[in-house]
A and B are shown apart, each in its own frame.
Chain A
Amino acid sequence: MSHFEVDYFEVGYFEVLSPGVHSLIQDQGRFGQGALGLTNGGPLDASSAHWANALVGNGANALVGNSANALVGNNPNASLIECSIGGLQLKVHCSSNLCVTGASLALTINGKAKTLWQSHPVQAGDVIELGMVSQGLRAYLAVAGGFQIAPHFGSTATVVREGIGGLNQNGAKLQPGDKLPLRASAPLAPRQFANAMQPDFDFSKGLSLRLVEGYQQPLFSSVARQRFYLNHYTVTPKADRMGVKLSGPAIECTSQSLLSEGICYGAVQIPPDGQPIVLLNDRQTLGGYPKIGSVLSLDCWKLAQAPAGTVLSFEKIDPQQAHNALLLARAYDARLLAEINSRCSSAGADHDNT
């Protein structure tokens, strides 16, 4: 049996010693509940969350061909922890494999420094600590098979504002003493995401967000649009899971009052003060401010990882370019995952021979 297949045992749990600044259970999000006014939720940095899961065998292409594992794991929608700013401490009560990705921070297991973007086996009694972030804002901790949490309206994503999802289906953030159930797993051969491939969380040189124009775009004059693309905007402290308020040269819109309408992920709304707000995972489902278009989903993670003061600009792309970018990113991720899995598999074989 190769070492990247996960052996699952009984159900155990991780205990929250300290939730840190703000830690939430998330899966890929809650979809199809918009008619009740429920937002999507889900990880603010979807790519880091995806890799945290993939590196512990919860990726779409991992574990192919093992029907037992298909029953208990192998789920890219597995529930994990989003830890904002850092400080999460967990005590392990069953053998498992975990991986931390996302923002740069110090990860220790029983006080020993461990590498981010790599899977680590843990056993009962181990203490896992995440330090405070040094670059980026959100870290993701995934376990093999995912935390076993009952979905609420089809998803475990915690939306505090709505009181929906999370460990107890009440929207609560993680609290000291919470017990997070999971299926125990035997040690995996480590899977690692090469340093060179990891996203850069240093935003001090500024960042660029690709945007597809849409919605009320015709209500913005060509001068207003030029101003929007040619100027720099700064991330303000008014940033949370709902959205990020920017500050910079005000953008004027010829109309201020709209009937409330559906807001999609990444939509850039321009309230009467002319300062753009980019709407993210926990956005309100309906709103009445004019919108100039939507930031490409592949770039939204940057906003959620960028601290206040980060300078950014918008770059217009057309819908075909956006579609191509999505397909390319997915193909790239699949190839990368296949490489990681094959490297892990051969490492496992070496291990067998020694």
Chain B
Amino acid sequence: MSPEATSTTKIETTVELPVSSDSIMTKKGPQYWRSLDELLGKQEIDALVHREFPAQVSDVLDPVGRRNFLKVMGASMMLAGLSSCARQPDEKIVPYIKPPEYAVPGKANYYATAVAENGYGMGVVATSFEGRPTKYEGLREHPASLGATNATTQAAILDMYDPDRLDTVLNEGDISTWKSFITAVAKGLNGIDTKGGAGLRILSGTVTSPTFGWQFQRLQALYPEARWHQFTPLNKDNVKAGAELAFGRIVDQVIDFTQAAVVLSLDSNFLHEGPAAVRYARDYALSRDFENNGGRMSRLYALESSPTGTGAQADHRVTVRYPGVETFARTVAARLGIAGCEAAAGAVTGVSDAWLNAVVEDLQANRGKAIVVAGPQQPAAVHALAHAINAQTGAVEAGTISYIEPVEVQPTLHGASLASLVADMNSGAVQILVILGGNPVYDTPADINFADAMTKVALCAHLTSARNETTRLCHWAVPQNHSLECWSDIRAYDGTTSLIQPLILPLYAGKSAHDVLNVLLGEDEIDDLNTVQAAWMAKRGAEGFPAFWKQALATGIITGTASPKATVQHKLQFPAHVPVEKPAGLDIVFLPDPTIGDGARANNAWLQELPKPLTNLTWDNAVHINPRTARTLHLQHEDEVIVEFGGKEVKAAVMMQFGHPQNAITVHLGYGRTHCGAVGAGLGFNAYALQQSASPWFGTNASLRKTGNTYVLARTEEHYNIEQSQIEQGRKAADRHLVREAALDHFKEHPDFAQHVAHEPSEDFTLYDPAEKKYDGYNWGMSIDLNKCTGCGVCVVACQSENNTAVVGKDQVLLGREMQWIRVDRYYRAGDDGTFDGDVAAVHQPVPCMQCENAPCEPVCPVGATMHSEEGLNDMVYNRCVGTRYCANNCPYKVRRFNFFKYSDHGAEQLKMMRNPNVTVRSRGVMEKCTYCVQRINIARIDAKREGRDVREGEIVTACQAACPSTAIVFGNIADPNSAVARQKASKRNYGLIADVGTRPRTTYLAKLNNPSPALQTAHSGAADNSHQSEH
């Protein structure tokens, strides 16, 4: 009997049934009924309940509402009854009588689906254990993924199990029901349907879902006056405006970095940000893969107004003021002889003539293989110039850069769309506002008072995953389904469409955007599956639909859905250059946060604790400033300051950052949340409160005022005099040859340069019998190509997701107790001038456990909790560990992590469901560390054994390796000379990190190569010279 039946029957026992015992009596024969509703008929029971319980009608009548009421009655009951919290599905569910063949307890199933990020899709394979999704891997066939993912995708699994998710429909902050919501919306629509729906507005983020588009079309047919607005703070307005400027219409650009010989980045973080970043990182890595790329290697020039991870990868990087990027682009365009483009007067401060000449010559010399890519934060003119330069250098002609029809359902300029919505709201023209996702009260620029405008709307409804700043001001809040809980579809950066399929019933009474649109359409009985199917049926016809559907679900992509090529005509008209004067104050640059993005994911602890590339900052944002500028302003690192810009003030903390332009500050969006859940609320400061909608990414005349207080920032590095210690770290990294790198030319002459900079003891340099450690079977090893790593940090989150690694929080990070098993070390290198004031370079180095052959941790453990396995692994036995921490002390790589407290959340039921059942959840007092994903090794070994064969090359992929966009990490059996890892280790670039200690690490590195322009003498070539000297 269903729960509804039970409780309604209770009413029967306490209240005398008025009307119709006869309706029971009239029923004959064996009858089964699920509720009294069914048995007695709806009206009768309604009348009864109305009479008896006038105040709780909706709660009692609606099963979901009543259960939710009970749910909050007792906090402890809330989670205990988790399984019953889910809406009873309409589909049949029965226990397995004959279990399906694929459902083997303890064995994972994998489903292709997609994860949405800022409206664009990333194809993924979701791992599911007994119906619980636990992990995302990239979908190899998906163009945006190619098997890899980014950190935000990896962390998306945590979003679903986030205990702070909104779990019920809210009306004015009180618990309500989906049915009441439908009624309220219907009532609201009643008032406006005569006016063609005027006053109905939908606000969403970027939408690429074809089903959404189909639904909106139908809505438009129903209510011709209804309007759809789009706004997301990380919009591509400048990109779109640039395309309009260049071609007269919006088109999307797709870049083939594999063809690249020269890349000029104009303030673009293309390796880390944007819907194509994972793909671009892969392609870019290929273009740099000297050994496997026919001896070719691309060269990256980066012009930056604020340091990014992409800039850190550049062969030549200069920092300029934000407006200097446009000046530079104009100068380059003019030098390339592009019609209609006047060279800007004077040189760009910070860019030498030699640099400019080198760029121009390289662009000219590499016809068809030169790529200019502009950052979405740069104004439209820069994008238009980039398009023109790309056409001029033949990149478009050669297909290195192609233009496609827009992927978005309705490409609009978000800033304008939002402005018109707010204007209409303020004028009272908006009666019903349905906000699908997003958080406009928080993330709109400071001069747009969305909260005020909302008060003038009669009905505000918010589909949201958390009760955020906007939800609190809405009349209705509907819990939003995670993409693992609902059906939908989504397009990738190139238009390729994927179906999003649910792997689990909604944990709470969640709904999707399709459900809400169906309510507006008056079709609330249609669920999201039927909606998506109907949309596709309408799109492609019903013929062969089941096969199509099955195919699309199985492969994760719908073939032939990539956006068609767009024919474009370059208009070659550029707006007149308006030089931005340098006023007395500071320049201010706004950027999305490197891990949190626009702040929607602020409650995701994995992303919060992921050290941001370059700064290693966790759990906060900060005002980034060059140390030299800070000195002139008498500011110290971690000084609390009041940032004043455009008449707005915000309290923030100062963070020294090398490589930042002088007299400028960078603030990252996404922090300063007040309502998002226990994890993210109250962290950092809100940079949106400073943003101006006219120029959201840049401003002048900002100022900093010390408050006299200190605000401590948690970085995952030494917390002591940041400037001095980062310089010192960089120097020591060079002295100790931690990251070995050389210019390409040097490498061609001395291909084994990396193996001659430090003296490593030979393998037989030991008191023990070298034959003692012999491996007859597998012999696992890892190789990390520093030439490919871009420092994005996805490996860290992927490992965390795979290995149930705990988050520790800001306080513990400050104490140096972060638990991540793999970390990405960052070392700064002095700029060309030999100082750290100007254009410093940075190198990244992922460091997992080295699984040393002579592991210093092993002999010192008094209880033998860490032992060498027969396959070469340095195993960790949690049950045996007593926690002396001697192993961690004795580890030269400091990769061991100790549970100083009970860091793993053993309480939250949701998080229990999320964990990988094949990995122990560690408790207090034990040591842990990277195991090379030993659970994956074991699964593969068992499979192989059962099939009577050896584990195949490529069968075991560690979590970090799988996630890495640039394939920097390779794992495998080094006993097999044909394995990828053995081949990499045979490379002359192969070296062991501080192998001079005699540890014989199994994780080794491939030295980094740089490809500096011969015309420019840089620190890169200098670094190579140093290593050359120490070689002899």
A and B: real partners? Answer: no
Query: B residues near A, CB below 8 A?
Result: none
**Chain A interface (Cβ < 8 Å from any Cβ of B):** none
